[in-house]
Amino acid sequence: MQNTKIVLLRHGACEGGNVLRGHTDVVLSLAGKEQLNVAFSTLKNSKTCDLAKNSKIDLVVSSPLLRCSEPARAFAIQHNIDFVEQSGFMELNFGDWDGQLFTELYQQFSEQLDAYWANPWQHTPPNGETMQAFESRIDNAWDALLERHKGKVIVLVTHGGVIRHLMA
Please report, in tens digits, the pLDDT of each residue of the chain (168 residues total).
Answer: 678 989 999 999 999 989 999 999 999 999 999 999 999 888 877 766 655 454 689 999 999 999 999 999 999 999 999 999 999 999 999 999 999 999 999 999 999 999 999 999 999 999 999 999 999 999 999 999 999 999 999 999 999 999 999 999
- Please name which of 137, 63, 126 lies closest in space to residue 100, comparing C-alpha atoms: 126
Fold classification of 5-167 (topology level): Rossmann fold (3.40.50)
Domain ranges of the chain: 5-167
Q: Is 41 helix (H, G, I), strand (E, B) or coil?
A: helix
Question: pTM for this one?
Answer: 0.91
Asked if 128 contacts 93 with a C-beta cutoff of 8 angstroms, the reply is yes
